[in-house]
Structure 1
Amino acid sequence: MLTEELSRLLKEAELTKEDLKAILLDHFVDEDGDLDLCYLDFSDFDGNIDISGMEVKKNLDQYGQKVGGSLYQGGQEVQGDLYQAEQKVKGCLFQDGQQVEGYLYQGGQKVKGDLIQSGQIVKGDLYQDCQRVQGDLMQNNQDVKRNLFQNWQKVQGDLYQNFQNVKGDLNQKGEESKIKIGQKEALIKGCKEYLKTKLQYYTPEDLKDNLYIIWHLKYVIADINSKLGYGEYTCTDEKEIIDAVFTA
């Protein structure tokens, strides 16, 4: 806590937020030129903490926050990327009304309640792979200008696919492999090289069950396949490649 003398001087000076900003920049900028306000412990303060409306020229880091109440992060305007990874939330996680010019990644979510993703407007592709749902999976009233892929579904209850309006082809059968000799081996090798880069963050056992890693492997396969100049492959081939990466 502040000494009585320092507290008295600050009150007499009628300290403003601009004064506080100047104090912080004078005393809490580290050797890298960054303002370091990490690990401030307000657990003995009974009020709320409001840090809204800040304007930051470069990066704003908000990692490892421990919040006893709710964490509000609404109305952010970000010129670069917005990272919200590995959140642990006992209540609800709201991500509504996002406007994203790049990619929106939502991989590896573990949700005990409901996961609601309604009213998405996507100019590119919408990937919803490797979902594990103990309740119902509802994908109604989709409006897709190109292709709708729904492969490798495992359903213990009923699978409803009613009122489809398809201008192209409707394929509901197994596919014959289009993969060529040597292509599968090259893709498996490339995927294993990618996984090696993740071992500093995950154990080999964790990689097998990490839905984000499995989802990202699909991009790795497509990228390697394109760079090596191989022909097309089917979704069944893709699954066999990913299975082989973890079993070979």
Structure 2
Amino acid sequence: MSAQNENKIAPNKGFKNWTIGINYGLTKFNGDISQYPFASAEQIDLQYQDSDFQERRSAFSFSLEKIIDKNVSISIENVSGEFAGLRRPNEYKGYEINVPYSNVSPGMPGYFDAKSSGDKFVNSFNETDILLNYNINSEISEFIKKEMPENFSIFIKLGFGYNVYRSLRTDLYNDNYIYSFGYDELTKNESDVPVTESVMVGGAKLKYEFENSVSLILDYTIRVTNSDKWDSSIMEGGQGYDRFSFLSFGLAYNFDVINKTKD
């Protein structure tokens, strides 16, 4: 009887010190095609679509975290969603503009005149990251000379990831095709193979345990690519390495409560 009980409990033991998390939030791109460094822009009164074009986009994340000790954990995180950007013609003054198809006639796919028009892009992505998380509560307590609440934690996180994406760049005012990655050339049709990039990841996470093993999460993470392609614009003298931030809220659940109940 005892052996049977041990066999029933054993599978749950494997979840000890594991946490799952689900987050939803907003993305903000910063690169060649972005109007402002921090705020999200929008373009209204577009004739080719009913809604306004918004830089502000959303994404969803799922994470699986293994707690190593009270300060250190390792997590795998999958993020999927969109980020976008726009740039009006006044923001291109003094820059060398990236125009891949320079001999195209006006109105044809690939044509772009930055002196009279702006551009925009939308990037649809799916990314998987491996992250090292470090709890800085003890450092903060030492600095402020006061103990942090036991149910509140602040983490910094660093890691790397693998980003799979498709990016479509079009004219801001008439939606004419300019350039893309992950689409058939000179069309808005998705190609069979998306594009991949390696990324560096860094950020911070606030965790508030409001119920046994259930926590609220506030997460802010920045992802930086090793190239200048996320916005389908490789502009000399521009931003260089593309990056986007992801501000999200969510819930995390620690499986330890299952093990304690079974024990």
Q: TM-score, normalised by structure 2?
A: 0.18
Which structure has the bigger radius of gyration?
Answer: 1
* Structure with a larger share of its residues in strand: 2
Q: Considering Cα pairs closer than 8 Å and 6+ residues apart, tell me whether 1 or 2 has the greater RCO.
A: 2
